Amino acid sequence: MQNFVLHLPTKIIFGRDTIKNIGPETAAFGGRILLVYGSGSIKQNGIYDRVTVSLAQAGLTVIEHPGVKSNPVLSHVREGIRLAKEHKVEAVVAVGGGSVIDSAKAICAGAEVNHDVWLFFKGKKGVKSKLPLTCVLTLAAAGSEMNGGMVITNEETSQKFGTGNQLLKPEVSILDPTATFTVPPSYTAYGAVDAIAHLLEFYFTTSDPATPVQDRFMEGLTINIMESCRKVLTRPDDYQARADLMWCATLALNGLTAAGLGMVGFPMHMIEHSLSALYDVPHGAGLSVVMPAWMKWRAAEAPAKFAQLARRVFAVEEKDQYLAALEGIERLKSWFRESGSPVSLRDLDIPESAIPALADNSMALAAIWRLKEYDSAVVSSILSNCR
């Protein structure tokens, strides 16, 4: 286990009927707030009304900024920054999933500076301060409600970049599992895939050979994500299963899983970002295509950890390390398929002829994330396994 510093400043309010707390929790940070949300689903399921009533009862002045896309875009963030500065907002409230919360984080950071917010994502500027951020989570997936990461697509350059900073962590996040009851089956599955990808990025990229505590922790979360996802796909209003899935997704990327692992990388996310940047596919859908392909590529060189996952998570009995690894990868892929998530480029309507362009597109982020092993040829090789 490596040395580490773990700081989790986000206050989590979890459970039924907790959305009413968003007003008083936000009021602690100021009286003028920017309300960021998506395309309108929260107005259909009643969450918008519950949020705005709470904000009004707390005496807050609300400036609304709707319209966040599934793959959030830079132009929307820039407009949110303009609104925040124009109205001198003192805090931001995000109501949605990871896309909404990531957009809100970028607005919070961008509102505090005079340079363009995209410079944070290019690694040219660092976050020094931000507006306070409170959240109401509506999708179990990204873990953005408790971490310092954010991902945005620059639609002008077709680049989807992610960056992180401890200061970006929300001050308060409200997690009411009932807010996810109306999430469509497809996005429920994509969210579960995203959470599993976060776990497996850490699990497979740590260079520390002795991580038994973290291994068991991540294996357990993976099992629980798959089990709870199966349950909610069968019965969407299963509160306990929704609660399990929501909390697992938060734990997958809030710092606990990576503690003690040392340097880790996000190569699967790096490759997927090109799929969603160029073809606007849902992030989790892209990951369920890339993940088995990357795992197969990496297992050919170092099968032991993949065999361990296969045996502990999927009860694979094969004794040969490489064959066990391949069987585990196929079982994960089968779970993706069973859940309704795509498993090939064809499923995403992306032609194989697009592989060179996808690989080239990923190079800028590979450089920023210092994934030196991944040149265009390597990424093309991995994508060629996405069949």
DSSP-derived secondary structure letter, 6:
-
Is 0.85 topped by the overall pTM? yes
Distances (CA, A) of 50 to 219, 316, 352: 36, 47, 46
Q: How many CB atoms lie under 10 A from the CB of residue 231? A: 16
For the chain, which ranges sit under pLDDT 70? Answer: none
> Which of 70, 57, 130, 131 shows the shortest CA–CA distance to 100?
70
The pLDDT of residue 283 is 96
The pLDDT of residue 287 is 98
What whole-number distance in Å separates Cα of residue 58 and Cα of residue 263? 43
Q: Is the CATH number of domain 11-179 3.40.50.1100? A: no
The pLDDT of residue 387 is 80
What whole-number distance in Å separates Cα of residue 20 and Cα of residue 203? 37
> Which of 117, 105, 185 shows the shortest CA–CA distance to 142?
105
Distances (CA, A) of 134 to 6, 116, 124, 155, 273: 21, 23, 27, 27, 26
Write the CATH number of the domain with boundaries 184-383. Answer: 1.20.1090.10
Is residue 284 a contact partner of residue 191, using CB atoms and an 8 Å limit? yes
What whole-number distance in Å separates Cα of residue 195 and Cα of residue 340? 16
Is residue 29 a contact partner of residue 132, using CB atoms and an 8 Å limit? yes
The pLDDT of residue 40 is 82
